Amino acid sequence: MSFLNVNVEDRVAVITIDKAPANALSSAVLKELSFVLDELKNQEEVRVILLRGEGRFFSAGADIKEFTTVETGEEFARLAQFGQDLFEKMETFPKPIIAAIHGAALGGGLELAMGCHIRLVTKTAKLGLPELQLGLIPGFAGTQRLPRLVGSAKAFEMLFTSDPLTGEEAVRWGLANHAFEEESLMDEAFKMAKKIAQKGPISVASVIELSSFSKTQEYHDGVKREAELFGKVFTSEDGKEGIQAFIEKRAPEFKGK
């Protein structure tokens, strides 16, 4: 791979975007990320994914220079659709994906982060969708995910003004989970990732499925699926191990079965 580095430690796969100077999300970067996710999906030793950026930024956005090579609206639509499909894959991925954001997550960079399950930020990070400033609009589902996270009024303000939120503001608005000093971001992110990695893979994947299910299905259908998965998880080897470990007052050893 040319733009991504992957390191696995303690059941956590750390994916680093490394495309100087701003980790712009070119088609090549997105294709590599899609490939890496497909590879990690079935690796039993990986239970959590941590996504970060090398250098000064998480990602400052899509590769604007690449746009100059695209000529038709249909080509732009296909480019947008690929990014939308990838971030949907992330949102429904059966293993938790944590974004560790420093510097800036702007435009496509923020849309990438919003496709993750958890967002951890530095207090001074900048998170925003500045596309209207360029006479454009977000194309990777930013207009859909941002209102779900911060509410429609704040989303309209962010989109219309192009003003970003700081990391601390992002936490207050529900766009990020926690804000840290820059020097402690990765330690805190890895600590959380390892904590999640100790949970049963089947139950974790079930929670992700149900969360995604709730965004597109009726409540009645969602609770019906919850009951089905409740039975599946309870009768799994991990479910039985978790109950037995609780009775015996010991840490469970989940195997994802």
Give the active site residues: 111, 131
Hey, is 51 helix, strand or coil? strand
Read out DSSP for 217-250? Answer: S-HHHHHHHHHHHHHHHHTSHHHHHHHHHHHTTS
Question: Which phi and psi (to 5°) does residue 12 adopt?
Answer: -115, 125
What is the edge-to-edge ordering of all strands in the sheet holding 165-166? 104-106, 126-128, 165-166
DSSP code, position 199: S
For residue 54, the SS3 value is: coil
Strand pairing category for 104-106 and 126-128: parallel
Per-residue DSSP letters for 100-122? EE-SEEETHHHHHHHTSSEEEEE
